[in-house]
Amino acid sequence: MRRPLLPLLACVLAASCAHVAPTRNPLADWVPSPNLDARRAVVIVLHATEQDSARESLDTLRTANSGGPVSAHYLVGEDGRLYQLVADGERAWHAGGGRWGTITDLNSASIGIEIDNDGSEPYTDAQIAALLRLLDDLTSRLSIPKTQVIAHADLAPTRKRDPGALFPWQRLAEAGYGLWPRGDLRDPPAGVDPWLAMAAIGYPLDDRAAAVRAFHRHYRGRDDGDDPLATFDADDLRILQALAAQRTGLDAVATP
Ligand SMILES: [Zn+2]
């Protein structure tokens, strides 16, 4: 009579039994292999908290707030202090719906970093320095490609604008992070399709004007607001050409 209590007691002590997924699939014979490790992220998504303080954001990221529960792996304070809220190997709830290249579930594939910024002020030197230290740690320890550091708005251009047009992407690029045009920019050859270039970089194209607005915030430091007619200019096309060439290893992505 006492033995059935033991698993129950162990369950209570574990305190999180309800969340433990079954290890084994009853459909298959369990023939365990020791050759495994934890799943790892392949993308780092940068956010702005769009709130007034790290304290306020720590509360938002740790409670069931009115808009639904959200979280991130890290928060970078305005003073450069780093907070970790979710372990690197766990799935934080920061990206929501969106797509980057062929990745459709960004929360499962990424590390989310919130940066304490209200969305209208410059980022501080202290927090960018701290962010660079964190990116160095994450990309080396988790083997995440340095070019795979993107904006929340890049993967969800119809819903999000963070970390916004004031985020210093060029400074990150000078430290080796994110995709950034390198070398002399030149006009794309005739027939090059800017949308193929955008898709090669990773942008979702469900709403093309929204994708252009995300591109402008990231690569031109410009906010088009909600302009439904946002489109590329000649400088955009030269930047796109350079980015797509880096991404694909091809000189140009043209429509056949
Ligand atoms: Zn965000």
Q: How far is the CA of 55 from the centre of ligand 1 (A)?
A: 17
Spacing, Cα 72 to ligand 1 middle (Å): 9
Give me the half-sphere count of Cα atoms (radius 13 Å) on the Cβ side of residue 194: 16
Annotation marks residue 114 as catalytic: yes
Three-state DSSP at 110 gives: strand
Tell me the CA–centroid distance for residue 155 and ligand 1, in Å: 10
Q: How far is the centre of ligand 1, averaged over its atoms, from the C-alpha of 54 (Å)?
A: 15
pLDDT at 139: 97
Distance between CA atoms of 172 and 135, rounded to whole angstroms? 10
Query: Which position has the token pair 């964190």?
Result: 134
Count of all residues that appear for the chain in the document: 256
Of 86, 216, 206, 230, the residue nearest 151 (C-alpha): 216
Give CA–CA dist 157/152, Å, rounded: 8
On whether the pTM is more than 0.75, the answer is: yes
User: CB under 8 Å to 28, separation ≥6 — which residues?
Assistant: none
225 Cα: distance to centroid of ligand 1 (angstroms): 16
Q: Per-residue confidence of the chain (256 residues) as pLDDT tens digits?
A: 344 444 444 444 444 444 556 679 999 999 999 999 888 999 999 999 999 999 999 999 999 877 889 999 999 999 999 999 999 999 999 999 999 999 999 999 999 999 999 999 999 999 999 999 999 999 999 999 999 999 999 999 999 999 999 999 999 999 999 999 998 899 988 888 999 999 999 999 999 999 999 999 999 999 999 999 999 999 999 999 999 999 887 766 665 5
User: What whole-number distance in Å separates Cα of residue 209 and Cα of residue 200?
Assistant: 17
pLDDT of 164 reads: 97
CA 107 from chain centre, in angstroms, equals 8
Report how far residue 200's alpha carbon sits from residue 8's, in angstroms, rounded to the nearest whole number.
Answer: 52
Distance 95 CA to ligand 1 centre (A): 7
**Quick count: other Cβ atoms within 10 Å of Cβ 69?**
11
Catalytic residue, candidates 90, 114, 121, 174: 114
β-partners of residue 192 are 254
Residues 182 and 94: their CA atoms lie apart, in Å, by 30
> If you measure from the C-alpha of residue 120 to the centroid of ligand 1, how many angstroms do you get, rounded to a whole number?
14
Residue with tokens 């940066």: 115
Note the pLDDT of residue 183.
Answer: 84
Where helices occur in the chain by DSSP H, the ranges are: 5-14, 54-60, 106-109, 125-141, 152-155, 169-174, 194-201, 208-219, 234-248
Q: What separation in Å is there between the alpha carbon of 44 and the centre of ligand 1? A: 12
